[in-house]
Amino acid sequence: MLLRQRGISDEQVLAAIGKVARHLFIAGPHVNRAYEDSALPIGQEQTISQPYTVAFMTQELQARSGTKILEVGTGSGYQAAVLAALGCRVFTIERHLELLTKARQIFDHLGLRVVSKGGDGTIGWSEFAPYDGIIVTAGAPEVPEALKKQLADGGRMVIPVGGKDSQRLVIVQRTGGSYSTREVDGFKFVPLVGKHGWN
Ligand code: SAM
């Protein structure tokens, strides 16, 4: 399997990806490319992330059954579905309501319990905080403080940070009141647009 060859070793992540049919999240002319390892257009000038990126971010998040995860950038709903297949309690926010409506239809069709809302995810979702994990699937100019504050003690956030054309993946770990970070280069996401993102 390609993901394994590329270094994804978390068996639970690989199993969850194996359970979610990616073609359901890609409507229109690109559906026949659903099982390629590439990002694809989903409308509203947005993309579904490539499977390797979804696997890598999920592995770095250390998402496990029963953990509470906030996703910023529902997009097609694929990443949220993979987290739900892992057994996570998933909360997800999308700024484009057309995309959110489609994603919700797929969650219902698959019988997945994903709590979602439309809006600006850069401010997080304080009602359900703190989260064991926060995954941001759009590129930010910097790590939003509002999201860091919504991490539980011991929680992790994965977020692409950098310019509008390319980013590094920043992995933030919260321990009590302090935060440590690690970075991995070489990612390319659509921009995170909002109060604590791009204009
Ligand atoms: N996770 C998605 C999937 O599995 O298909 C991929 C998402 S796409 C790369 C990034 C998404 O983030 C887009 O749908 C975009 O509209 C959304 N987005 C950008 N800024 C946002 C914000 N401030 N709040 C919520 N969603 C945002």
pLDDT of residue 28: 85
| In a domain? residue 16 | yes
Asked if the bond preceding 130 is cis, omega within 30° of 0, the reply is yes
Distance (Å) from CA 72 to ligand 1 centroid: 6
Confidence at 113, pLDDT banded by 50, 70, 90: very high
Average pLDDT, stretch 76-97?
A: 98
> How do residues 129-185 score in pLDDT, each as one tens digit?
999 999 999 999 999 999 999 999 999 999 999 999 999 999 999 999 999 999 999
49 is catalytic: yes
pLDDT of residue 27: 84
> In the chain, pLDDT over 90 holds for what percent of residues?
97
**Substitution site in 70, 117, 193, 198 for ligand 1 pocket (most atoms within 8 Å of beta carbon):** 193
| In a domain? residue 137 | yes
Say how far apart CA 120 and CA 72 lie, in whole Å: 8
Distance (Å) from CA 68 to ligand 1 centroid: 19
Domain extent, residue 120, equals: 2-187
| In a domain? residue 146 | yes
Confidence at 1, pLDDT banded by 50, 70, 90: low
**Substitution site in 86, 94, 134 for ligand 1 pocket (most atoms within 8 Å of beta carbon):** 94
Q: Where residue 151 sits, what CATH number does that domain have? A: 3.40.50.150
Q: How many domains does the chain have?
A: 1
The reported pTM is: 0.98
| In a domain? residue 192 | no
| In a domain? residue 193 | no
Say how far apart CA 47 and CA 184 lie, in whole Å: 21
Say how far apart CA 29 and CA 31 lie, in whole Å: 6
| In a domain? residue 38 | yes
Say how far apart CA 90 and CA 113 lie, in whole Å: 8
